[in-house]
Amino acid sequence: MTAGAIPMSSDILPDISPHLARTDPVAMEEFNRLLIAQYLADNGRLTGLFEHVPILLLTTVGARTGRVRTTPLTFLRDGQDYVVMASKSGAPVNPGWYHNLMAAGTAEVQVGSESFQVRAIDTEGGERDRLFELMAQLNPAASQYQQVTRRRIPMIVLRRIEPDSTDSTTVVDTVVGHSSVYRADRTRRAAVPADTTGVEHVSTTAEPRQTTEQIARFVVMYDTPSDIEAFERHYREVHIPLARQLPGLRRYTTSHNMTPVIGEPYYLVAMLDWDDLDALGAAFGSDIGKQTAEDVTENLVRYTTMRSMILQLDDKQ
């Protein structure tokens, strides 16, 4: 299999040793990339070492970088919950996804072809020990990982957030088209990589800013349009003037060619900031908000595909 190829069900994933996973993060990242690609290509069915192992995909946002990352993890079911282990193959420190997950408190999980939001619970004491024993029965390597590290390997419960929950996550989802909501502790400008060109479109409607600890950022990611000229013309002449009128909008930035952790660069990424989730929800519930959303779903998607998410960010300069 050549590097960069998307493995299909007929391809066999290469084996990777726990020692290599602990000592060569580059090799591990490449292996995870191949595993994720195969998982997505074949609705969760894997080959090779993980052919009969229950695997889920956990998507988190970097607490410092704001980058969206997807990690394949072995899991077990405990009632309705999903349980994962922050083993990092017995490395001396916890994996990055664990820190990001604990900072956010929520994440997105894909099991097979189904994706849903979860709330993370870092278990302690007897509950942690009970779940670790269950994991060791499922995956005997778990005991080996604990033996080679001094840290107490965390056991995390991922509890599905039901659609009818009154949690603020689902309230905002209904306003902005079922976007995923993540929380991250980072500076507000870190989401624009240094190698991209960011254009800021200042709001014409926001009142003078009040002191606040966090902002809510709505992020829309567009793939390369089928007709770039028509897309750019509509976006520049119609969509930007509409979006600038969204009530309470603090900052509106667009960047071209932003590169995700996995996959091709996004053609255009738009980032819109509000004081909080309530202000964001009120903006898209307004008449101008409905017009802006309709412009995306009725006009811009004629040229391209898109996805969106919401970040709750520390408002540090």
Phi-psi region of 4 (alpha: psi -120 to 50; beta: other; left: phi over 0): left
Q: Phi and psi for 42 in degrees, rounded to 5?
A: -130, 30
Check residue 188 and give its pLDDT: 34
* Dist. CA 92–CA 71, nearest whole Å: 19
Closest by CA to 144, choosing from 93, 87, 92, is 87
Check residue 285 and give its pLDDT: 85
* Sequence-separated (6 or more) residues with CB below 8 Å from residue 277: 168, 171, 172, 181, 216, 310, 312
Average pLDDT taken over every residue of the chain: 77
Instruction: Supply the Cα-derived Rg of the chain in whole angstroms.
Output: 21
The better pLDDT of the pair 164, 293 is held by: 293
Instruction: Kindly report, residue by residue over 170-204, the tens digit of the pLDDT.
Output: 334 433 544 544 454 443 333 333 333 455 665 44
Task: Identify the band that residue 259 occupies on the pLDDT scale cut at 50, 70 and 90.
Answer: low
DSSP 238-249: IIHHHHTTSTT-
Q: Which residues pair with 254 in a beta bridge?
A: 199, 270
* Dist. CA 304–CA 133, nearest whole Å: 48
Check residue 112 and give its pLDDT: 92
Q: Which domains does the chain have, with CATH numbers?
A: 54-160 (2.30.110.10), 168-314 (3.30.70.100)
Query: What does DSSP assign to residue 124?
Result: -
Q: Phi and psi for 61 in degrees, rounded to 5?
A: -115, 135
* Dist. CA 254–CA 192, nearest whole Å: 9
**Whether pLDDT at 82 is above 50:** yes
pTM: 0.52
**Whether pLDDT at 64 is above 90:** no
CA angle 3, 191, 179 (to 5 degrees): 85
**Whether pLDDT at 22 is above 80:** no
**Whether pLDDT at 263 is above 90:** no
Closest by CA to 63, choosing from 24, 122, 107, 30, is 107
* Dist. CA 223–CA 125, nearest whole Å: 46
**Whether pLDDT at 79 is above 60:** yes
Query: What does DSSP assign to residue 236?
Result: I
Instruction: Kindly report, residue by residue over 229-255, the tens digit of the pLDDT.
Output: 999 999 999 999 999 999 999 999 988
Check residue 30 and give its pLDDT: 79
Instruction: Kindly report, residue by residue over 86-114, the tens digit of the pLDDT.
Output: 998 888 999 999 998 988 888 899 999 89
The better pLDDT of the pair 2, 248 is held by: 248
In the sheet where 198-200 sits, what is the strand order? 180-184, 306-314, 214-222, 266-274, 251-258, 198-200
| Location of structure tokens 């040229």 | 303
Q: Do the Cβ atoms of 140 and 74 come closer than 8 Å?
A: no
